[in-house]
Amino acid sequence: MTRDARYDVLFEPVRIGPVTAPNRFYQVPHASGMTNALPRVRAAFRETKAEGGWGVICTGACSIDPTSDDTPLPFATLWDRNDIRAHALMTEAVHRHGSLAGVELWHGGAAVMNRASRLPPLSPSGIPWMATHVGFMGNLRPRVMDKTDIRDVLRWQAEGAGKARSAGFDIVYVYAGMGYLGYEFLLPEYNHRCDEYGGPIENRIRFVRELLEVTREAVGTDCGVALRVSLEELRGRPGTHQESEAHELISLLSDHADLFDVKMDSSPTDCSASRFTGEGSHEPVIDFVKRMTDKPVVGVGRFTSPDTMVSQIRRGVLDLIGGARPSIADPFLPNKIREGRIEEIRECIGCNICISSWHDGVPVRCTQNPTAGEEWRRGWHPERIAPARKREKVLIVGGGPSGLECALTAARQGHEVTLADAGTSWGGRLSFEKTLPGLAAWNRVVDYRLGRLADLPNVSMYLESPLGVDDILELAPDHLILATGAAWTRMLYSTLEIPVGQLEHPAVYTPDDIAAGRLPAGPVLVFDFDNYYYGGVLAEHLAAKGMEVSYVTPAGQASAWTIMTNELPLVHRALLQRRIPVTTLQTVTGFDGEMATLAHVFTGEETAMHCRSILIVGLRRPRSALREALDLRRAEVEAAGIASVTTIGDALAPGAIAHAVHSGHKAARELGQRDGHRLYLRDTPITDCEPGFEQADAAE
């Protein structure tokens, strides 16, 4: 396949100070959950993107000193010689593919709690960051930096830059974004200083400028120096000599950085979910930067369309197409564009499960790309898979996310795959969920897999085909995969969180009823203790249909788990905009068709709420009837030559789509293996130097 000439511009090299990016695809620094404790996992994760054509590959936040300690959230360190070796694994891996390696040197300032190092957090003026934000709340307030502290941080940055050069990095960052130390100096609300570091913008940028100067001094002409800066707040503040303080910052620092990596100020707007924001959402904030500097500019916006990327470059918004999530979902995105294989791009769906991994403190998980984080420990590659030793007949029952992924992965190995689903369209739960407010992009999970399956000659697919045991025995596959999904229940829990049975009433509904088109009569009470997106989004869906809806949850917030995916503030805003009242800390204990009885989860005090129907978004149970029927006829199953029966996805353990896709992929990779439950390789930290060696020895 040949590439469309209009995409050629994406493959032009770009100079970044003394180094040159081979193309415009730039994997910006992003959290991976892979700390220095998992150096091989991390190197393989980043290497796969270099192999896939990303011209620059960066680390996530990399602490320069124990005063920048985000524990228990995962972060990288560049403190000593062991750290240099750990990072060198990654830079060597990235260089093998001709890409540049960048490191995001980072000091968290007042935004970290130093829970492990127990050192007082540093800040320009002792003002805590996110003091009102429960998710990041700590109970230690920062101390005010004096001039010695400022000199110390500059020295740590210089030493970190020297170590970065020794580790083989080509681009070294100064970080002044997302509430971290450099950023705190930029905003007068955090910087109350009366010395030369506070006051007018010229003074407030001084610390960042000095960080850039010491970095350049440390790396000489070996590395490019990048500034990563958040511009949302500053763009909203009128400047003295320029349109805004953001304009002033870029023009004042233009000669000090080789590259500007520009972004938003907080996670919900910076890595916003597709449910609330589209591709290229940063543009209104960062569109001016290229006019203020002749240095290259990189920015993100969940770019997956090459036309949008070209447009960003042609219109003078960006020089380099930054990608974090698109590079996780498809490490081979650049090569697919280069080779004219656009339809093979595995587009990020913007669900932010990857970000929840960071909040969970574990290596990155991705809904679209089940191999993310599994490159080294399980040996999974996103594009390559070894052919099966023996071509076998695989029957998969259920064409939801898990069944589709299993079918695709089995077929790519060369197996003869049959996929059957009872429904009238592929996608399982997504067939309905994609129609809900903001969730259309999630159907990329289905579209990508259907597109790839259509190219494979060894797959037969049948809709409207509910399979029972007799059908399966007749088809007599070598391997049977059950991907039959899960069903929502009317189960309730007590205030002590003990299950108390189903709520029985004809006007009690589950999400499966809504999906089947059975609409409740209003006013509807949506009772959500699933706590992820579904309760909130169904409340929005019913309100959009003109129903009077109220939302009740035993949690402290609506869709409480969406704090993990950066969506929670936007969920609340959406419910408010649709005039859906939110009642928290209440559980439903009864319903008579006119009144629901609620009990406070802490006091048990009962109140009544008027409603004519209740939608319970609570517990899902696997659809296990087929599995149980097969178990009863085990002898016939064996006689039919069916060597293995494997349950995957929600039918095994109901969960997020990411879990279902991973489960389907894993089952296909492990087809025919007796020990289906394989242990993955366990990574270990690099310890060339024994604990206790002089940190200063590591400084270059």
The binding site for ligand SF4 (CB under 6 A) comprises 325, 328-329, 348-354, 366-368
157 or 356: CB nearest ligand SF4 = 356
Query: Could you tell me if 473 and 637 are in contact, meaning their C-beta atoms sit under 8 angstroms apart?
Result: yes
If one counts every other C-beta atom within 10 angstroms of the C-beta of residue 484, the result is 28
Least distance between ligand ADP and beta carbon 570 (Å): 24
Please identify which residue in 421, 540, 567, 683 interacts with ligand ADP, judged by CB under 6 A: 421
Residues in the chain: 700
Stretch that binds ligand ADP, among 60-68, 131-139, 348-356, 477-485 (CB under 6 A): 477-485
Looking at residue 494, the DSSP 8-state letter turns out to be -
- What single-letter DSSP state applies at residue 474? H
CA distance 637 to 639: 5
511 interacts with ligand ADP by CB under 6 A: no
Helix H, strand E, coil C: the string for 165-216 is HHCCCCEEEEEECCCCHHHHHHCCCCCCCCCCCCCCHHHHCHHHHHHHHHHH
Nearest to 31 by CA among 328, 411, 436: 328
Least distance from C-beta 659 to ligand SF4, angstroms?
Answer: 12
Chosen from ligand ADP, ligand SF4, none, partner binding at 466 (C-beta under 5 to 8 Å by type): ligand ADP
How far is Cα 274 from Cα 267, in angstroms, rounded to an integer? 13
Token pair for 640: 């039919």
Is 485 among the residues that bind ligand ADP (CB under 6 A)? Answer: yes
Among 125, 402, 531, 587, binds ligand ADP (CB under 6 A): 402
**Among residues 655 and 672, whose Cβ is nearest to ligand SF4?**
655
Work out whether strand 76-77 and strand 644-647 pair parallel, antiparallel, or are unpaired. unpaired
Q: From the centroid of its chain, how far is CA 284?
A: 23
Q: How far is the CB of 33 from ligand SF4 (least distance, A)?
A: 12
Nearer to ligand ADP, 461 or 524 (CB): 461
Q: Please state the closest distance from residue 405 (CB atom) to ligand SF4, in A.
A: 13
Structure tokens of 235? 């763009």
State which residue, 244 or 402, has the beta carbon closest to ligand SF4: 402
Report the distance separating Cα 345 and Cα 69, nearest Å.
37
Look at phi and psi of residue 24 and say left if phi exceeds 0, alpha if psi is from -120 to 50, else beta.
Answer: alpha
Instruction: Reply yes or no on whether 180 is catalytic.
Output: yes
Contact code string over 592-621 relative to ligand ADP, x by CB under 6 A: ------------------------------
368 binds, among ligand ADP, ligand SF4, none (CB under 5 to 8 A by kind): ligand SF4
Residue 366 contact, options ligand ADP, ligand SF4, none, Cβ 5-8 Å cut-off depending on partner type: ligand SF4
- Tell me: does residue 284 bind ligand ADP (CB under 6 A): no
Closest to 509 (Cα-Cα) out of 493, 495, 527, 494: 527
The binding track of 522-561 with respect to ligand ADP, each residue x by CB under 6 A or -, is: ----------------------------------------
- Choose one: 147-155, 189-197, 396-404, 627-635; the region binding ligand ADP (CB under 6 A): 396-404
**Tokens 């296990």 -> residue:** 624
Which CB, 510 or 663, lies closer to ligand SF4?
663
**Shortest spacing between CB 356 and ligand ADP, in angstroms:** 17
- DSSP β-bridge partners for residue 322: 26
Binding mask 616-635 for ligand ADP (x = CB under 6 A): -------x--x---------
62 neighbors 15 (Cβ within 8 angstroms): no
SS3 state of residue 459: strand
Binding residue for ligand ADP, selected from 361, 466, 604, 676, defined by CB under 6 A = 466
Instruction: Give the nearest distance from C-beta 365 to ligand SF4 in angstroms.
Output: 7
Q: Assess 403 for contact with ligand ADP (CB under 6 A).
A: yes
Q: Give the torsion through C-alpha atoms of 262, 264, 268, 269, to 10 deg.
A: -100
# binding residues, ligand ADP (CB under 6 A) = 25
419 binds ligand ADP (CB under 6 A): no
Nearest Cα to 532, choosing from 431, 657, 427?
657
Nearer of residues 349 and 408 to ligand SF4, judged by Cβ: 349
**CA distances for 671 relative to 415, 645, 665, angstroms:** 10, 10, 10
Closest CA to 159 of 111, 105, 87, 209: 105
Q: Which is nearer to ligand ADP, 33 or 398 (CB)?
A: 398
Q: Residue 397 binds which entry of ligand ADP, ligand SF4, none, with Cβ cut-offs from 5 to 8 Å by kind? A: ligand ADP
CA 408 to centroid of chain Cα atoms: 23
The residue among 456, 475, 457 whose CA lies nearest residue 465 is 475
Given ligand ADP, ligand SF4, none, residue 626, with its beta carbon under 5 to 8 Å by kind, binds ligand ADP
In the set 235, 275, 336, 429, which binds ligand ADP (CB under 6 A)? 429
Distance CA 537, CA 526 (A): 10
Instruction: Convert residues 636-675 into a mask of x (bound to ligand ADP by CB under 6 A) and - (unbound).
Output: -------------xxx--------x---------------
Among 37, 140, 422, 476, binds ligand ADP (CB under 6 A): 422
Tokens of 153: 């941080």
Residue 138 or 423 with smaller CB distance to ligand ADP: 423
Whole-number Å distance between alpha carbons of 465 and 421: 5
Sheet of 613-617, strands arranged across: 508-509, 613-617, 524-528, 549-552, 582-583
Of residues 26, 180, 448, 551, which has the active-site annotation?
180
Report the catalytic residues.
180
**Interacting residues toward ligand ADP by CB under 6 A:** 397-403, 420-423, 428-429, 465-467, 483-485, 623, 626, 649-651, 660
